[in-house]
Chains A and B, each alone.
Chain A
């Protein structure tokens, strides 16, 4: 306790302060003299903040630098990291593309297999996301590394280089094929080696092969598979090169392109201003000279000056030829080895049966041969190249390729197949593991046929070795095997070449018949069908050049079948229809008899107005079909009836209808345009009745059916409109109106107008006079036609005058009921009014008859305003004044009656209007004519 107290006292002891002495420091004073320093571990904490990182916090620069690491695992890890990084941050690609590509390409030749594979993956990833034009500047580097890998001494690196090549082929075929020289040599070196022949030996025979197939026992795969691998890539590569070539013309069409509808000429549009200021250069064309010459001094591609065994580029014929000279012997060796292997394998007499392996090798060989042919930069070079091939290798080809032709598939027992599968898996499955024997055979055909030449007197006949090929093609086509469109195309190409080069009639006939039997199969898809169609139509166009095709029965049979096909096809496939129509047109313009007769036979079906093909097709095709009509030798009545229906139904446009009428007009004897001795296709009687029915606009059945539907008639005016008018829809009315224009024109041009008028008059009386309900379009058309056809000398007969006046009055009455809101009805109003007025003005006594028809006492109260409106409209129309004046008495009478019947108490607006109009008209004309008509 005491101690405690003492302590407490200690605490509160007073500090004595003395003068002159320093003040002691307080116990709790803080010493502020110390300084702090941070411990920093910069290496550990530094982050790559400059860019995004992987999950292991590695930036792209780290990863790229790690690729130089000596340890394979580090490199592998870095590549994996790169891939991760790039997939998360694709924007890195843009900024680091150059370094990335150079570093990744450098490890193509890495010793470690995993690294190489991962590098390939990274490359694939990059290729997927970078377009080829951005890789272009780095591509020389890439291809240098690629060649490095391909020529590497280590076998496995060579094999992996193939994968790199695959990636590049897939994504950058254009870049790869732009500089083919080095790669091609590499390809050769992969499967063969250069023989180090001494100078002496070389001098001995310079033609001796300097390349020989090589076998490397150290490979993981058999040499055959390895070769297949390489050949596959080579094929793809050549394909890319071929694709790069400017597209000229395919084999089948290197005729004169005589009927080239698409037009292969590209236009050059120039603006004068640009030329003046030299902004654009003008191309000079050779034929623009004073005397056109066919020989041009232009060479679009520079002639390569290379003389090396593999040309610097494949741009000249010589380069291609050199390359082929190196490659073809190798290919032949590959072929021979494959077939020898094959034979030793099953050592049976059935040498034509192949294992799948051999088959695919052979297929590749043939594909490459085919591509080699196409490598020729120009069309004329191709022919030269073909000739060269023929000269050099025809014997070899015949000996090897055709020995066991046609090849079949070997039926391997099942357990073997299993083995096969296993092995295939081990070799990581070739892309094209199995090849159809059909494809092999067809390719072989094409390669061989390209060697055949046009038969001339000097050359020995090719037909002996072509026979098996021909038989094969014939059998394949006629047996009805399903062919893919590519195979079919190749086969057709083969046939084409055979037909053109071997000018024998029987052979051509057989081949064409085979194709025709294929053509007649039912379930062909569109592509196949159009392929076959174009084949035939091209053949047909060649007819004149090759006389042996000219009278081919199959061809004319095919032509004759076209109209049937067209009608059967219906509306299902417009593109195919277009093709058919084009062929029909070509044949029709040449006046092919069989085809025309067949067309005539089916014409009524084709041109049926309700379910014929013509109403379903798009308008361009409709037009072509209408043009086909011109070529028909005869147009029977049934066809004309259908055509008339087509014109009237509005399923084809009014323009097209007009041109249809014009074409029928041209083919009638009345048109006047005849050059040479062409018989008229249409009888005059038929033609006139065609025109008349088109004029009336409705078929007789339709008109008679209209008679029964009196109640639905929309115009209720009884006494004012003596005929019941059936209102046609405005668009139909317009269509009919345009057609009627054309019909009137044709009628006017027929020759004698008065006779024509008589004919029309008879027709009208016979068919239309009895009707009680008439469509308004028909009535208007009648008035128009009569007006335009009338000759001054002819006076229309009484019944016709009556009918016309009825029509006229009814139409006028209709006008008063039509609303004039929409522009369409306005058009209709104008058309009706115009026809009425011109008829009233032109046909004598028509106005009088109309006025006589007006019986005011029969009208009901409601109809009076309408009548008044009609009359005032007529009175306001000045061209009619003279005619009205001659009927003044009648008019006065009517107006008097009107005033009497209308309730005089309410003198309505229309009445005042009418009276005013009347007085103005009368006054005006009396002042002119000095007549004395005074009233009101």
Chain B
């Protein structure tokens, strides 16, 4: 199998001919294009698995009619769930059945961005009400009519609407970066909801991303600059003011308008940025040079570097399963679904067993490790029995020898001479 191919998928807001285009990351040649309407900002996502078609709010394969204007859209990395922000609410669909699993309305204003963690255990939503909410997917889709899903954490330290967020790797231990119009980017710990870092810039930040190893934070400003913040600098302060030049902080200059989307390639060498000046630029992170500039016909709304799905370039491959019709109403627990012979498999409330805590695991591991050494020194149960028997036998023989010796010597000594 060939090496995985990374491609650039981008879309702009006013192109007549196609909705989104797929470019080769390294050569910049256009590989594919998908026709259709236009997708607005942050509404392009790709379903992994069998389907290879990018989804967007009004989409090629099948139009999904939503109850309102879709502000953001994301699919879970394992391709099972689709989350969209429609005004203040978050709609969560199951892709395979098209069922609407939950409608979460904890935000007070329009949802601007949604991201899943890489293991699909959590997702984070940012909105114009200055808050970002961390949701645990399993608790959201639990089946319980009178249980209102609560976010696991409320990240509420921004003072103006959140424009973008990025979820790092490592599942629930990931770090989340949020960008806001209040000119700050904040990095949070997903598991505890604590803020780790806040960086203050001179301009409002419209997009944010981290490189895979989380050495650098890339922030797209509203003046067209992209700021690179080094996360492994020596100074430990929770609130920082961004100054280019110190501690490996750098500025990528080239765009002339809002930088709306940022993405870093898997190897952390290339940075992709899309801007309202109708270009998508590819940067070499090390040298901060613009390698390639892909012009579009309108403000760029989405640009992302991703691994090309296997069947993306097979011209006549169609998804094995057609996308089902996405329902518009939340499925109740008692099944209208069961009538049509379908089964809904969802967790009931509190059926999930509590996992061992970290410390318990550590203790277990410790005992396991000790057991190994114990075993090597003392042997395990069965061997000991045998060994005990052996030893007893030996003792017996020794005693016998000793007795013989005694008898012999007494005979020798008491022999009348």
Residues of A at the B interface (CB closer than 8 Å) are 256, 258-259, 261, 263, 265, 267, 269, 284-293, 295-297, 544, 585, 589-591, 624, 627, 630, 655, 658-659, 662-663, 666, 671-673, 675-678, 745, 748-749
Contacts and interface: CB of A to CB of B under 8 A. Distances in A.
B172 A290 contact: yes
16 contacts: A265-B194, A287-B191, A290-B172, A290-B173, A544-B106, A589-B128, A589-B129, A590-B129, A624-B159, A673-B206, A675-B112, A676-B111, A677-B87, A678-B110, A678-B128, A745-B223
B41 A675 contact: yes
Interface in B36-63: 41-42
A591 B129 contact: yes
A287 B172 CA distance: 10
Given A295-B354, A297-B357, A627-B160, A676 B154 contact: no
Contacts of A676: 69, 71, 85, 87, 110-112, 128
Interface stretch (B25-33, B358-366, B399-407): B358-366
Interface in B123-163: 128-131, 154, 156-157, 159-161, 163
A749 B359 CA distance: 55
B359 A284 contact: yes
B361 A289 contact: yes
A675 B276 contact: no
Given A265-B194, A292-B172, A672 B181 contact: no
A726 to B, nearest CB: 30
Interface in B243-268: 256-258, 260
B100 interface: no
A589 B195 contact: no
A259 B172 contact: no
Given A292-B192, A295-B354, A678-B128, 4 more contacts: A269-B236, A663-B160, A675-B42, A676-B87
8 A-B pairs with least C-beta separation: A289-B358, A676-B110, A590-B108, A676-B71, A589-B130, A292-B191, A589-B129, A287-B191
B161 A630 contact: yes
B227 to A, nearest CB: 16
A438 to B, nearest CB: 38
B135 to A, nearest CB: 13
Contacts of A287: 191-192
B96 interface: no
A589 B112 CA distance: 14
Contact of B357 (A289, A624, A658): A289
B360 A663 contact: no
Given A544-B106, A675-B71, A749-B257, A659 B183 contact: yes
B238 interface: yes
Given A666-B204, A675-B71, A290 B358 contact: yes
Contacts of B161: 630
B113 to A, nearest CB: 8
B181 A630 contact: yes
B299 A672 contact: yes
Given A589-B109, A678-B110, A293 B258 contact: no
A548 to B, nearest CB: 15
Contacts of A290: 171-173, 358
B222 interface: yes
A462 B41 CA distance: 53
A289 B41 CA distance: 35
B355 interface: yes
B163 A673 contact: yes
B357 A662 contact: no
A291 B194 contact: no
Interface string B295-329: 00001000000000000000000000000000000
Contact of B131 (A297, A589, A624, A655): A589
Contacts of A627: 159-160, 182
A678 B111 CA distance: 12
Nearest to A592: B108
A749 B172 contact: no
Contacts of A284: 358-359, 362
B187 interface: no
Contacts of A544: 106
B202 interface: yes
Q: Which of B157, B204, B358 has the most CB of A within 10 A?
A: B358
Contact of A293 (B108, B112, B154, B354): B354
A624 B160 CA distance: 9
Contacts of A261: 157
B109 A591 contact: yes
B131, B163, B202, B222 pick with most chain A CB within 10 angstroms: B222
A671 B260 CA distance: 12
Interface string B317-352: 000000000000000000000000000000000000
A368 to B, nearest CB: 38
Interface string B172-194: 11000000011100000001101
A59 to B, nearest CB: 57
Contacts of A288: 173, 191, 358
B256 A297 contact: no
B20 interface: no
A291 B299 contact: no
Nearest to A260: B156
B357 A589 contact: no
A309 B394 CA distance: 62
B270 interface: no
A697 B92 CA distance: 51
B72 interface: yes
Contacts of A585: 159
B169 interface: no
A630 B223 contact: no
A293 B156 contact: no
Contacts of B299: 672
A57 B111 CA distance: 86
Contact of B108 (A256, A265, A591, A678): A591
A589 B130 CA distance: 6
Nearest to A750: B257
B80 interface: no
A838 to B, nearest CB: 17
A590 B109 contact: yes
Interface string B81-111: 0000101000000000000000000101111
A914 to B, nearest CB: 38
B203 interface: yes
Nearest to A745: B223
Given A256-B154, A672-B257, A676-B69, A286 B238 contact: no
Contacts of A675: 41-42, 71-72, 110, 112, 128
Contacts of B172: 290-292
A291 B152 CA distance: 13
Contact of B358 (A258, A267, A286, A663): A286
A647 to B, nearest CB: 16
A209 B183 CA distance: 66
B175 to A, nearest CB: 13
Contacts of B195: 263, 265
A816 to B, nearest CB: 34
A672 B354 CA distance: 47
Contact of A295 (B204, B357, B361): B357
Contacts of A269: 236
Contacts of B160: 627, 630, 663
A631 B256 CA distance: 26
B182 to A, nearest CB: 6
Given A589-B109, A589-B130, A627-B182, A677 B256 contact: no
A264 to B, nearest CB: 10
A267 B42 CA distance: 34
A265 B194 CA distance: 8
B192 A285 contact: yes
A655 B87 contact: no
Given A256-B154, A591-B129, A297 B109 contact: no
A546 to B, nearest CB: 13
B209 to A, nearest CB: 17
